[in-house]
Structure 1
Amino acid sequence: MKTLKKRRRVQVIVLAVVALALSTGLIGYAMRDGINFFRSPSQVIAEPPLPTEVFRIGGLVEEGSIVRGQGETVHFVVTDGGESVPVAFTGVLPDLFSENQGMVGTGSYVNGVFEATEILAKHDETYMPKEVVDALKEQGVYKETGGS
């Protein structure tokens, strides 16, 4: 009698472990496209990611770097004060997008150019994403503003 109870208990525990491992694997597989890592321009130049990898890049838009081409494609350069990365974006830029302002872009680094699929700009005169602030502080470029 004891061995039957013990066997059932072991079977239930093994089944629970297998179910937990399977569900964890399925959740990870489902989320693989939804996770985008942040990189500063210095990190992108130091260790260029694969062209198939989608990630976020952030920094300041360099002064005088915005070039509006034919159609909707816009080229500009994003910097963290240490390194600069050229960016190409096809689409409509946010209204608050401008030179010397913070931005975060989502896309891929292909042939030395970050091909952005989405561009986010600051939403007021004092806000900048935490990742961008940290990258700029690391390079010694970030200046505190007197805003709240």
Structure 2
Amino acid sequence: MHPARKQRLVLVIVLVALSSAAIGFVTYAMRNNMDYFYAPSAFAAGEVPFEKRIRAGGCVVPGSIARAADSLDVRFAITDGRAELEVVFDKILPDLFAEGEAAVITGQLSRDGTLRADQVLAKHDENYTPPEVAESMTAEASCADGAKI
């Protein structure tokens, strides 16, 4: 092998090794900041680790929301259609949060099988229109020329 080719080959091998090591170190350092997403059926199957920050998502079960009278504590269940997961949250819920709507919860699974949430995100479909826009659309819909908006 020609010395110039051998030198380039060694350089490429060293660069690949250093790049792989850097990617490995970054991934290792970020492992505590990663939130893994699980469906309620994964919780029922026992596939979810305890005391680790995770995300769960599903629809809020109608009739499952129970609020404490003396604090912000809220208990509710989410489902993916196959299993239900009990969630405990102690902060203010988002405005779009409602029964039968989709939600994504971030928190830790406790030993009693409930998810202790520290963040609840209410989801909505892409057809959502803010109330102010909806009011302006209905007001403009009654235009004199009868044109639809």
TM-score (norm 1): 0.72
Q: 2 CA distance for matches of 1:94 and 1:124?
A: 15
Tell me, yes or no, if structure 1 residue 25 matches structure 2 residue 16: no
Q: Give aligned pairs, total.
A: 126
Aligned to 2:123: 122
Q: Percent identity?
A: 35
**Rg larger in structure:** 2
- Alignment-mate amino acid for residue 121 of structure 1: A
Q: 1 CA distance for matches of 2:102 and 2:16?
A: 46
Aligned to 1:47: 46
Aligned to 2:7: 8
Distance 1:4 1:125, change over 3 A: closer
Q: Is the 8 A contact 1:109 1:115 kept in 2?
A: yes
Q: 2 CA distance for matches of 1:3 and 1:63?
A: 74
Matches for 1:100-111 after TM superposition, within 5 Å: 100-111=100-111
- Alignment-mate amino acid for residue 104 of structure 2: V
Query: Helix, strand or coil: the match of 2:44?
Result: helix
Give unmatched runs, 5+ long, in structure 2.
Answer: 129-149
- Alignment-mate amino acid for residue 97 of structure 2: F
Q: 2 CA distance for matches of 1:120 and 1:38?
A: 13
Give, in angstroms, the shift of residue 72 of structure 1. 2.0
Q: 2 CA distance for matches of 1:113 and 1:48?
A: 14
